[in-house]
Structure 1
Amino acid sequence: MQNRWINRFIPPATHTRPTEWSRAALGVSLGTLFSVWVCSLFFGLPVALHLIGPLGASAVLLFAVSSGALAQPWSILGGYFCATLVSLSVVHFFGRDLDSACLAAGLALITMCMLRCLHPPAGALALLVVLADPDSASLGWAVLAPVMLSAACMLLAALAYNNLTRVSYPKKPAEPSPPLVAPAVIGDPGITAEDLQLALEDMDAFIDVTAEDLEALIRASEQHARRRSVGEVFAQAN
């Protein structure tokens, strides 16, 4: 039992190639640089640099795990917008201190969940908006402008770079599809994309995977299973 518990801390094997690591790394660097540069042109370098932490974290999601639910356009735009408004509201009522910053991060999480735009870097943004540097704090409610400009620039960079490097982004919406798994017995309806979506909802936990990803994984698994089956048939025939 103890070994099984310890094994949970061992990282699983990665399923991506070093070429994909390099592609994502270059995208993270270019996307962050572009976002900070554009923001600095309009609001000054101190304000832009104050936002670089959340932007760098968002870049990892948008370029390295762009298929995840937390990396989609509404996640970053909605997440940044919610975190900023919630934080500014907390500042208005409670001021700028550590307690207010932590409260803002928690309230931002609840708001993002309600609006289906959960984006982890927005939690860091909520802390930064409350514990702002003098240049950012002096903007007051207008700090929403550099925040959203930076988020929009990061999203534009991800849209351009990912698709130019043959990584489809953003994810396509789910479409009705035939059963993913053929019925094993008469009367068995099989598995559909709608079933996958309901299963994700039943798990009642934060899972950074979409029904589309699960569908693609199941279809790929079926193809590998068919190839293996054909290979075993030929091996037995020989």
Structure 2
Amino acid sequence: MQERLLDWCRSFAPVPLSARPAEWLRAATGIGLALLLVIPFSAWVFGISVTLPLAAPAAASAVLLFAASSSPFAQPWSVIGGNLLAAAIGIALGASPLPVAMAAGLAGALAIICLFGLRCLHPPGAALALVAVVGSPELHAYGFQLLFPVAFNSLLLVVVALLYNNLSGHAYPKPRPQKGNTHHTHDPLPSERMSFRDDDVERALAEFGEYVDVTRDDLAQLIKQTEKHALRRSMGEITAADIMSRDLYWGTPDCSIQRAWQSLREHRLHSLPVVKGESRELLGIVTLVDLLKHLRSTPARLRLSQLKRAGGARLRSIMSTPVVTVNPDTHMVDLVFLLSDKGLHCLPVVDAEQRLVGMITQTDLIAALYRNWLKHLPTEAPTACWDDA
């Protein structure tokens, strides 16, 4: 009993924040800039007597928009739709003959129910509903015209959030992850076929039973990231430098397509990195698909005469760029996701100066995974035999 009481008391302590101090400064700057724009402009358009009662809910909305921009509470539909709907409910109940205390309680309750129902839950909306009920007679005289300054503030806050968050490296509104694979089939991604699925997340949220301030997509992404970190710990520090091929064939931008094809065919390669002369700075990559697209050959056997008829075409005209690359310190777990879910067949390894230092293919990765699996196989202890005689 005493231990349970202590645990309950500990729940009042502040939980650790995942945001770094740089993120605190970024969010605080965004909130300050937004309020410096919204309050003066709103006062200029609608007057200070209307702006001041609406300033506190606007500040609360700004906190969500800049400090928790990935929250469902902070998405544009939640901010604009939630504020307008809650304000309309407060205006209607404020004009009713109900006592102020009863009208205020009903406004808050009805606002939350409606915002839940329309999927635009936004906590500052409850404050707006309360302001509309208990505001001054001058504010009540506006009636439903009070929705215009509410809409103005909400729209301006969202516009500032769109500009500031995206310019400071935070995608807003929160993008939905793309579903499906690179082959445009209905199969799940390779990494998801033996992992959890969307319906598993739905069941977990249903069992949790409470509202969770995170989108389902973000929750699934967090679980995947946790799995990756756990896998890294169990596999040990195996990096790209440990498994990459170092003796490479490559071409230059002025290399002919005919010569590139001969190199691919002679050495049984599927891709050829394109580098800048002796510096070996990676410029692009040429695959068999790139060659076939250029030659527009038939499905039949590709003949050398077709390459000769291609004229003086050079690799610079057909190479793919930019190239998805990794550095020598990239962990093998990250390589797995790149070579499976992203549909890549090889990964050039480059150093800090973007010079080509190695290449990792799906074959290299499979061999490394196999060796790691053998290393972690449990060793069976020999069983003792007893002779009863």
Structure-2 change in CA distance of 1:113 and 1:71 (3 Å): same
1:64 equivalent in alignment to 2:67: yes
TM-score by length of 1: 0.87
- Distance in 2, matches of 1:15 and 1:110, equals 31
Match of 1:31 among 20, 31, 34: 34
Structure-2 change in CA distance of 1:19 and 1:93 (3 Å): same
- Distance in 2, matches of 1:18 and 1:25, equals 11
RMSD: 2.4
Q: CA deviation at 1:176?
A: 3.1
Provide, for residues 14-48 of structure 1, a one-character-per-residue CA deviation record: whole Å limited to 9, x for no partner: 11110000000111111122222221121012211
Structure-2 change in CA distance of 1:95 and 1:152 (3 Å): farther
Contact 1:176 1:193 in 2 (8 A): no
Structure-2 change in CA distance of 1:42 and 1:196 (3 Å): same
Give the structure with the larger helix fraction: 1
Give the structure with the larger strand fraction: 2
Once superposed, which parts of structure 1, at least 4 consecutive aligned residues long, lie more than 4 Å away? 179-183
Residue 173 (structure 1) aligns with? 176
Residue 127 (structure 1) aligns with? 130
Contact 1:51 1:147 in 2 (8 A): yes
The percent of aligned pairs where both chains have the same amino acid is: 38
1:54 equivalent in alignment to 2:23: no
Larger CA deviation: 94-103 vs 5-14:
94-103
Match of 2:201 among 175, 196, 202: 196
| Structure with higher RCO (Cα < 8 A, 6+ apart) | 1
Which amino acid is the alignment partner of residue 23 of structure 1? R
Q: CA deviation at 1:232?
A: 6.0
1:147 equivalent in alignment to 2:137: no
- Distance in 1, matches of 2:106 and 2:152, equals 25
- Count of aligned positions: 231
Residue 281 (structure 2) aligns with? none
- Distance in 2, matches of 1:81 and 1:197, equals 30
Contact 1:58 1:121 in 2 (8 A): yes
Q: CA deviation at 1:175?
A: 4.0
Which amino acid is the alignment partner of residue 60 of structure 1? V
Provide, for residues 175-231 of structure 1, a one-character-per-residue CA deviation record: whole Å limited to 9, x for no partner: 435469767xxxxx5312343244324433221011121122122223322332343
Larger CA deviation: 60-69 vs 86-95:
86-95
Residue 365 (structure 2) aligns with? none
- Distance in 1, matches of 2:26 and 2:217, equals 23
Residue 162 (structure 1) aligns with? 165
1:103 equivalent in alignment to 2:106: yes
TM-score by length of 2: 0.55
Contact 2:89 2:107 in 1 (8 A): yes
Which amino acid is the alignment partner of residue 193 of structure 1? D
Which amino acid is the alignment partner of residue 82 of structure 1? L
Structure-2 change in CA distance of 1:198 and 1:72 (3 Å): farther
Contact 1:38 1:153 in 2 (8 A): no
Contact 1:179 1:192 in 2 (8 A): no
- Distance in 2, matches of 1:181 and 1:205, equals 29
Which amino acid is the alignment partner of residue 223 of structure 2? I
- Distance in 1, matches of 2:163 and 2:10, equals 39
Structure-2 change in CA distance of 1:99 and 1:202 (3 Å): same
Match of 1:229 among 217, 230, 234: 234
- Distance in 1, matches of 2:157 and 2:68, equals 14
Larger radius of gyration, structure 1 or 2?
2
Structure 2 residue runs of 5 or longer lacking an equivalent are 181-187, 240-374, 376-389
Provide, for residues 108-162 of structure 1, a one-character-per-residue CA deviation record: whole Å limited to 9, x for no partner: 1111111111111111111001111243222111001101111111111111110
Larger CA deviation: 167-176 vs 16-25:
167-176
Residue 186 (structure 1) aligns with? none
Structure-2 change in CA distance of 1:201 and 1:42 (3 Å): farther
- Distance in 2, matches of 1:142 and 1:122, equals 17
Residue 9 (structure 2) aligns with? 6
Larger CA deviation: 39-48 vs 118-127:
39-48
Residue 95 of structure 2 aligns to a residue whose secondary structure is helix
Contact 2:95 2:140 in 1 (8 A): no
